[in-house]
Amino acid sequence: MRLLKNNTSSKTNCDLSHCFLCSNSLPGWQSLIGANRKNLRYKKGATIFNEGEEANGMYFIYSGIVKVHRRWGNQKELIIRFGKAGDMLGYRGLGDEKKYTVSATAIEPVVICYVELAFFESLLQINHSLTYQLMQCYANELQNAEKKMSNLVHMNVKARVADTLLALQSQFGKSKEGNIDIALSRQDIAAFTGTTYETLFRTMQEFIQDKLIKISGKKIFVLKEKKLAELTQVQ
Amino acid sequence: MRLLKNNTSSKTNCDLSHCFLCSNSLPGWQSLIGANRKNLRYKKGATIFNEGEEANGMYFIYSGIVKVHRRWGNQKELIIRFGKAGDMLGYRGLGDEKKYTVSATAIEPVVICYVELAFFESLLQINHSLTYQLMQCYANELQNAEKKMSNLVHMNVKARVADTLLALQSQFGKSKEGNIDIALSRQDIAAFTGTTYETLFRTMQEFIQDKLIKISGKKIFVLKEKKLAELTQVQ
DNA sequence: TCAAAAACATGATATAAATCATACTTTTGC
DNA sequence: GCAAAAGTATGATTTATATCATGTTTTTGA
């Protein structure tokens, strides 16, 4: 998926060129898209949509970070993935069931480009290339999901935490300071790893002891990437 | 996905009308497809493709049952899903990486309709509806994968076994006798549930004791579907 | 700006499920 | 048709990880 330059002012509207939808449509269609899209703003912690709700539209992230997650009971959750500028949300609604099967929550202020499902589907009918790109995007997501599924069953927590940190660094990159360029609560890191806060905490302490990582508040520095990668391999 | 009538003679070739590829193409194209497809046969236990291998083509199941799985080390595996007549394999190869990220193995004799990836991709370029159907198929698979991922983290083994049995019955239906219409080894059921053979065995014994299911060899009879379904709910 | 809530930090304890061990039975290939 | 391999069956033991409990610090919003 496409990356966006670092224009995260929450005042900005989508410029009709960077999101998944626009970048996969011919320039001539942008006025049509512009006329049918809404810009939505969410503050940190706000729900974008909830699992079980009627799927009404497609959400294209213009700026900010979103977690895509599933809840269990009212204390447990699994974070399936994080979405950032250029990513798409809600498209699972295209399946047989027109309901969201996951939830999406802003973990920092987010600007969304939103279109109604009916409009999006009509775009797919006339824009072959958009459908093809969407299909490609799914193929990748499926691979990720299948890999994650397998990791959850086969890897122990230590390996999964190592994998999580490397995945976060790969998706969000490093800041100039050198830390992974995303600020997550330990709770969210645990939910992304598929473990509890306490176990995540202890595992990270172990990594700090072993000098594999370094921590300063919410800033995480990967010190020994190779060692972490080794931990994720079958022993 | 589409179901096929019970014509499982391994001598039969695909009739160019039932598989995912043919049923989503206009009749006029069938001669083109016929000229480019190969019919492949696999016996029980045979590997169709292996994770890590170069992705060379698309596989459409004409008859038989296939497991799609990922290995870990050389003793552990997770079965991601089962495929039957009308289903498709190998399409993950369309993602960024042109390698299979999962393995596919025949668990009973299988007849496959095979086309080269290049041919399939050219079909996608000219057949908009095929691309759209493929995309829809992915959307469903993604929902399944995300649900399974969440189940693996949140549900205990008992709930997962109940879920597995219901899922198998829903996918493969019941025979006239009333058992789930697929013969799997306990090992495979365990791998699909994401647990070990021993734990699966004990859990099934518990279900038999509680009269939720009944067993005769590889035939599994679901006696109390509702009770099993309750076990899968958050308590 | 102050109270309440969320997040962070850690030790102690419980337990679900994996692992190990062993024997019997069925299937498969030569 | 028989040997080897795969699958089935079950008890005993270990262990990784969740759960519980409690206190501190930070963030948030009224």
Residue range A35-91, pLDDT digits in tens: 899 999 999 999 999 999 999 899 999 999 999 999 998 889 999 999 999 999 987
Among partner residues A91, A148, A154, which is closest to B149 by beta-carbon distance? A148
A205: Cβ under 7 Å from strand C? yes
Residue B235 has pLDDT above 80, yes or no: no
Residue B15 has pLDDT above 80, yes or no: no
The CATH homologous superfamily for domain B20-144 is Jelly Rolls (2.60.120.10)
Question: Residue B99 gets which letter from DSSP?
Answer: B
CB contact under 8 A, A141 and B141: no
Give the closest-approach CA distance of A177 to chain B in angstroms.
31
Write out chain A residues lying below 8 Å of B139, CB-based: 91-92, 94-95, 138
Tell me the average pLDDT of chain A. Answer: 90
Residue B179 has pLDDT above 90, yes or no: yes
Give the closest-approach CA distance of B110 to chain A in angstroms.
23
Q: Mark residues 192-221 of chain B whose C-beta is closer than 7 A to nucleic acid strand C.
A: 194-196, 198-199, 217
**How many Å does it take to go from CA B44 to C1' C30?**
18
Among partner residues B70, B92, B139, which is closest to A150 by beta-carbon distance? B70
B158: Cβ under 7 Å from strand C? yes
Looking at chain A, which residues constitute the CATH 2.60.120.10 domain(s)?
20-152
Q: Are A213 and A166 in contact (CB under 8 A)?
A: no
What is chain B's percent helix, strand, coil content, to nearest 5?
A: 40, 25, 35
The residue among A117, A216, A153 whose CA lies nearest residue B190 is A153
Residue B2: which pLDDT band, with cuts at 50, 70 and 90?
A: very low
Q: Are A140 and B96 in contact (CB under 8 A)?
A: yes
Looking at chain B, which residues constitute the CATH 2.60.120.10 domain(s)?
20-144
CATH class of B155-231: mainly alpha
Residue B95: which pLDDT band, with cuts at 50, 70 and 90?
A: low
Q: How far apart are CA B100 and CA B52, in angstroms?
A: 5
Among partner residues A124, A136, A153, which is closest to B152 by beta-carbon distance? A153
Write out chain A residues lying below 8 Å of B94, CB-based: 135-136, 139
pLDDT value of position B200: 98
pLDDT value of position A4: 32
Span A20-152 CATH architecture: Sandwich (2.60)
Span A156-231 CATH architecture: Orthogonal Bundle (1.10)
Residue B5: which pLDDT band, with cuts at 50, 70 and 90?
A: very low
Looking at chain A, which residues constitute the CATH 1.10.10.10 domain(s)?
156-231
